[in-house]
Structure 1
Amino acid sequence: MKSYTQKNAPIYEALEEFRARRVVPFDVPGHKRGRGNPELVELLGQKCVGLDVNSMKPLDNLCHPVSVIRAAEELAAEAFGAAHAFLMVGGTTSSVQAMILSVCGRNDKIILPRNVHRSVINAMILCGAHPVYVNPEVDERLGIPLGMRMEQVDKAIRENPDARAVLVNNPTYYGICSNLPEIVKLAHAHGMKVLADEAHGTHLYFGENLPISAMAAGADLAAVSMHKSGGSLTQSSLLLAGPSMSEGHIRQMINLTQTTSGSYLLMASLDISRRNLALRGREDFARVVDLAEYARKEINEIGGYDAYSRELINGDSVFDFDVTKLSIYTYGIGLAGIEVYDLLRDEYDIQTEFGDLGNLLAYVSIGDRKQEIERLVGALAEVKRRFQKKGTWMQVPEYLSPHVVVTPRDAFYALKESLPIAETKGRVCSEFVMCYPPGIPILAPGEEITEDILKYIEYAREKGCSLTGSEDPDVQRLNVVNENTLDWM
């Protein structure tokens, strides 16, 4: 195989060579380099559509890479400090699922925080793993879940010595980091693997003075959303593995669910973005940090908002904080985060990442400039002046401790019945309910529906949160496990 360095982008270079040959296509895709779909060419451009090709010998095959895709994966592993890297075209959802499928089977235990993305619970439905939740502390003022305390992780490991793995968010959506290096040491000492959901942590591998990355901390697997802070196209991701993991085994798990028709546009975007980060990542993310810190300072000077940062660090449940996350507490102006989110979009044409009941997240990354930051700050000042409210409302924490009755898999596939949501108290849920984004479930399959959860769902609905995950799109009814079924579970 040809020798490459971090200055190369093997997949992109192979695509350019292929395009120059003007090969006549008698294979898929059926648009035949755009000739069959001129509207698509008008939308995306001839070069883009012309590179939307199928797997073939000169371009390698994602399911069993031996040439340019393999070279791109080896360069990614080198750039991220991993033993192996896998290009993923099903988003970080597919990375998370492959990560969990690689270590867990039916009835295997996995220790994890409850504030995980729905993809983690989906993976447990697929493989039949049993969750052992470490309930994170909640910052009572901000209403957000924090990281896992070491005492909690130690207790979970000692009470479940047969658990196969510990999963850690690194960082959370809000920028909170657990003590990953110590969790790795503790888990490995008990023969358990450590998995990291790094959907929001690409920059940790290239920035300076940021929280430690999963591979640097010694984790065994990490799912990394390159499209979030790394600059690649939406739906492209990486799965990283440490030296303890079998490359062939992971590839088999990936191929259980990932498409056999991998998009070369997504793979090329991963290839180019890895090259950009390897060559310029430190410089780029230093600028991102400066922009985020500038925004934080300006927003806090408005008054009423709290753009929080490293002052939350307590050495345990907030072991570190990712300062690129511009998380803003909005309660001080009398508005829910989702209300500010809607106002920014509808009144000022500013699209932030998400708003929950008390917080707003503005995602700052390599494509941002100071003028956009200033526009955001100005709009937030205007929102306060025009829309702030006096008084308070019922403060409901973002995290509600679950009571797991049966495994997610058993609940999901059980006989079920649909009930009006008001009649579901005390029943076992067989589907998801979540505010999206961020996609952290309020309810997941196998969990008891409590009065507090029902109040939270209604409050989130009143404030304008987008509720998703249930079969009923309006979340007026919920699927619950048939009570007779519970007797044999």
Structure 2
Amino acid sequence: MQLNQNRMPIYEALNNFKKERVVPFDVPGHKRGKGNEELTNFLGDKCLAVDVNSMKPLDNLCHPMSVIREAEELVADAFGAAHGFLMVGGTTSAVQSMVLAACKAGDKIIMPRNVHRSAINALILSGATPVYVNPGVDNRLGIALGMSLKELEKVIKENPDAKAILVNNPTYYGICSDIKGITELAHKHGMLVLADEAHGTHFYFDENLPISAMEAGADMAAISMHKSGGSLTQSSLLLLGPNVNEGYVRQIINLTQTTSGSYLLMSSLDISRKNLALHGRDIFEKVRSLAHYARQEINQIGDYYAYARELVNNDTIFDYDVTKLSINTLDIGLAGIEVYDLLRDEYGIQIEFGDIGNILAYISVGDRERDIERLVSALAEIRRRYKKDRAGMLDHEYINPIVTVTPQQAFYGEKYSVPIGESIGKVCSEFVMCYPPGIPVLAPGERITKDILDYILYAKEKGCFMTGPEDMKIENLNVLK
């Protein structure tokens, strides 16, 4: 049956509800904003009027039977999935639901080590055992790449009892693995394929971009609608392929997702899905064009390198997301995070992130050519004013970890705190990462080496926002006894 993508069932139900002028003797306690004047003045009457609780006319996110159910069906139709769930805990919640649905305690899951912390958090919750495929590394850019099909095949043969394979589609930098080849290989060996598509919402609406997980035949995909899809922060989707039990996955989601689903987040998903279904192709054509223009201009400045599909090697870089404006900064003698700070502090430009050698400027339909020109001129001026010799700079983002115990065993194991400088050789029991992107430098269960410690101290010195450990100053680390 052809569904009408013009429909926005949650949005429509909320508008009808507003017209009824129902007197609220339920939660939330601000009572459509009347009880919190400051909040109402800040967010506005329209927002507070639809910050409501589940009720019969508005359905229930945990057990949808009417308008939310219809919104989910429209999501599945728009994304070419068998089923779609509205997620109000961000893509973190969607990634964790995928892993928890695929793996029980003791089960193996194959994944690249450059996964978002949410995937490793899911291993702590589930007790599943990770089998890491070390991604390729681009020595010039210093970034982790995708999974090699040949390397993955070797890992599958060594671990035929693994239940699932998790794939980044794409990485934060825009790098794509051969997800179709991975899916065919996984299914041949009876394994599920889970795709972290936090940065790949747009793949579903533009045939000039890399293949989406659902089109590649993956079993589950976590989608950050709030990143490139236009919905409110924290609103995401979980998509299922035809061979996954929808009822069981909903039970898994309901283990951790709130029973008070935000109608602000859900309606933003509803509206954004309609917008992408009807106009996505035009939207992302514009985004591609803006990113291409930006790359051309930046590469003419000198020393910066804004990279794209020329990196493709049909292996660890099977494809590239050309909407990503990833820029290597090492040749101007500045770490990415230093350029990030200068752009914000000196030029009033906020980009997505900076790390040791790269920055990412997130481009969307909301950007204009003059915004790109302002970014380009700021980068040119930073080069002119701050360029220095790159000698002594750390030039790699990714270090292969030495895994000694599972994340769950390490996280819940007996531990003690040591000064970070005395931690070499010990097994870490917590996370250390730069955020964003939120990919752990150290995860629970991994041995602390001199290379890793040097990286952490260098990243701290350069101004990376380090997160994860119990000690907020990151002067001490918890290690296993």
TM-score in terms of structure 2 length: 0.99
Report the CA distance between 1:391 and its aligned residue. 4.0
Structure 1 residues 175 and 14: CA distance shift in structure 2, 3 A: same
Deviation at 1:393, TM superposition (A): 2.0
Cα contact 2:332–2:390 (8 A) shared by 1:
no
Please say if residues 83 and 243 of structure 1, whose CA atoms lie closer than 8 Å, have aligned partners that are also in contact: yes
C-alpha spacing 1:103/1:20, structure 2 compared with 1 (3 Å): same
CA shift digits 1:286-305 (9 cap, x unpaired)? 00000000000000011110
2:248 maps to amino acid: H
Show the counterpart of 2:453. 454
SS at match of 1:223: strand
| Aligned pairs, number | 480
Aligned mates of 1:391, 1:222 — CA distance in 2: 40
**Which residue in the other structure is 1:384 paired with?**
383
Within 5 A, what are the aligned runs for 1:424-463?
A: 424-463=423-462
* Aligned-residue offset at 1:4: 5.9
CA distance in 1, matches of 2:392, 2:50: 53
Correspondences of 1:248-287 after superposition (within 5 Å): 248-287=247-286
Report the Cα distance in structure 2 between the residues aligned to 1:42 and 1:416, rounded to whole angstroms: 48
Conserved 8 A contact 2:124-2:408: yes
Unpaired stretches in structure 1, ≥5 consecutive residues: 483-489
Deviation at 1:461, TM superposition (A): 1.0
Matched, 1:417 2:421: no
**Within-5 A mapping of 1:80-479:** 80-479=79-478
Runs of 4+ in 1 over 3 A off after TM superposition: none
Kindly state the Cα deviation for residue 11 of structure 1 after the two structures are TM-superposed.
Answer: 0.1
Q: 2:36 & 2:164 partners in 1: Cα distance?
A: 48
- Provide the residue aligned with 1:485 in structure 2: none
Cα deviation digits, residues 325-375 of structure 1 (max 9, x gap): 000000111111000000000000100000000000000112111111111
CA distance in 1, matches of 2:255, 2:443: 24
Structure 2: how far apart are the matches of 1:30 and 1:260?
A: 16
Maintained 8 Å contact 1:4/1:71 = no
Aligned counterpart, 1:486: none
SS at match of 1:102: helix
TM-score, structure 1 as length reference: 0.97
Determine the C-alpha separation between the residues in 2 that align with 1:208 and 1:346. Answer: 38
Instruction: Supply the AA of the counterpart residue of 1:216.
Output: E
Pair 1:79–1:4, CA change in 2 (3 A): closer
Structure 2 unpaired stretches of 5+: none
Q: Does 1:68 align with 2:64?
A: no
Aligned Cα RMSD in Å? 0.8
Q: Which amino acid aligns with 1:185?
A: E
Is 1:429–1:449's contact at 8 Å kept on the other side of the alignment? yes
1:29-54 deviations in Å (ceiling 9; x for gaps):
00000000011111111010110000
**1:87–1:260 distance in 2 versus 1, CA, 3 Å:** same
Taking a change above 3 Å as real, the CA distance of residues 457 and 331 of structure 1, as seen in their structure-2 partners, is same
Q: CA deviation at 1:396?
A: 3.9
CA distance in 1, matches of 2:210, 2:187: 21
Q: Which amino acid aligns with 2:190?
A: G
Q: State the distance in 2 between where 1:372 and 1:257 align.
A: 40
Are the equivalent residues in 2 in contact too, given 1:4–1:10 (CA < 8 A)? Answer: no
Counterparts of 1:369 and 1:9, CA distance in 2: 28
* Distance (whole Å) between structure 1 residues aligned to residue 219 and residue 104 of structure 2: 17
Letter in 1 for 2:304: Y
Q: Give distance in 2, aligned partners of 1:425 and 1:394.
A: 22
Query: Partners in 2 of 1:261 and 1:217 — Cα distance?
Result: 34
Query: Which of 378-387 and 11-20 deviates more?
Result: 378-387
Distance 2:368 2:245 in 1: 42
C-alpha displacement at 1:387, in angstroms?
1.1
Q: What SS does the corresponding residue of 1:417 show, helix, strand or coil?
A: strand
Paired amino acid for 2:87: M
Compute the displacement of 1:137 (Å): 1.2
